[in-house]
Amino acid sequence: MSAELTSLASGSCHFGDAGCGFPAPGLNEFQFKPIFSIGSIEFNKPMLLSIIVALLVVVFFWAAFAKPRLVPGKLQLVGEIGYDFVKRSIVLETIGKKGEKYVPMLVSMFFFIWLMNIMSIIPFAQFPVSAAIAFPAGLAAVVWITYMTLTFKKHGFVGGLKNLCWPSGIPGWVMFILVPIEFFSNIFVRPFTLAVRAFANMFAGHLLIVMFSIASWYLLSPSLGALYGSASFIVAVGLTAFELLVQFLQAYIFVMLASSYIAGALEEAH
């Protein structure tokens, strides 16, 4: 929670009070003091939350499948539903049978991203880890490295470049325009947009929820501001509910795009 929000909640600053302006949230909502430092490396709240999320994913799936039974228990059943959802609805639909070996990685990625996003509505956490650009950028880098590795491993160096830059069924006279565009798109644009899409949605959603939450308290007063404050609170609740859907969709879209890149690497042509 930012210093402005803490000050607002602990004081009596409301709409109409003399010398009391609206403490609009900004980039300060995404800046955290280090919990501790090791040399020049600072360990902060988003890093702590990401470790907690990673442990939750590992512990849950380990507990669910450590001793699998033919008739699954409740924990195993939930794990199987989650695993099969990603496998059947995303991986097999996008890659096909060739995607079986990549299911564990993509399942882990899906639940890791989803839980990082859900942290925004968890008490005391209240921050979507994906709103810190380093985390979606790191995941996008993993996808990009996998994409490039599979492309050149399957097709070789020359074949890999052709797969990346030379679309099939296109007249040769347009290739001198299309090849640089395809190269730039597949090598640079894809990882960039993959990271920014996950980051920007969580960043904007968190900022909107914080803004309307602050406004709900700030507008709370005996005057007409109470009506505006109530409306702001309703909007904040509605945005939180909508954000739950967005959090799931961003994890889904990220893994779906990762699957499509892997599928493209394994195919003979675009």
The answer to the question of residue 45 being in a domain is no
Three-state DSSP state, 225: helix
> What range does the domain containing 151 cover?
67-264
Token code pair at residue 125: 């956490």
Type of residue numbered 74: K
pLDDT confidence of residue 270: 46
pLDDT confidence of residue 103: 95
* E-strand stretches of the chain: 36-38, 41-43
The answer to the question of residue 3 being in a domain is no
| Alpha-carbon distances of 219 from 25, 93, 224, rounded to whole Å | 15, 49, 9
The answer to the question of residue 195 being in a domain is yes
pLDDT confidence of residue 232: 87
Token code pair at residue 126: 């209240």
pLDDT tens for 88-105 read: 999 999 999 999 999 999
The answer to the question of residue 39 being in a domain is no
The answer to the question of residue 62 being in a domain is no
- Residue 3: pLDDT above 50? no
Overall domain count for the chain: 1
The answer to the question of residue 14 being in a domain is no
Q: What is the pTM of this model?
A: 0.88
pLDDT tens for 10-51 read: 556 766 666 677 777 878 888 888 898 888 888 999 999 999
The answer to the question of residue 6 being in a domain is no
The answer to the question of residue 27 being in a domain is no
